[in-house]
């Protein structure tokens, strides 16, 4: 669960100043990463949760 792709995505997902376009691009990248098994389903769900939390805090 500590692979480089996951950590990079997590760092981006935790940013609170992302535009909607940047969020959509990150989600698209995460979709590809999970499909190519660069991140796990659980990591994907966690990243989506982080992004949702950032959205509600804004």
Q: Residue 58: pLDDT above 70?
A: no
pTM: 0.88
Q: Which two tokens stand for residue 55?
A: 């959205």
pLDDT for the residue numbered 56: 76
Sign of CA dihedral 8, 57, 32, 42: positive
Mean pLDDT, range 4-14, rounded to an integer: 96
Q: pLDDT digit string (tens) for 13-50? A: 999 889 999 999 999 999 999 999 999 999 999 999 99
Residue whose entry in the numeric block shows the structure tokens 């982080």: 50
Please list, in sequence order, all residues whose beta carbon lies within 8 angstroms of the beta carbon of residue 17, skipping any fewer than 6 positions away. Answer: none
pLDDT for the residue numbered 43: 97
Residue whose entry in the numeric block shows the structure tokens 């959205």: 55
pLDDT for the residue numbered 54: 83
């Amino acid at each position: 669960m500590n692979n480089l792709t996951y950590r990079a995505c997590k760092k981006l997902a935790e940013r609170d100043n992302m535009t909607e376009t940047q969020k959509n691009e990150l989600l698209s990248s995460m979709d590809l990463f999970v499909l190519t098994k660069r991140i796990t389903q659980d990591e994907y769900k966690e990243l989506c949760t982080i992004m949702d939390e950032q959205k509600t805090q804004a």
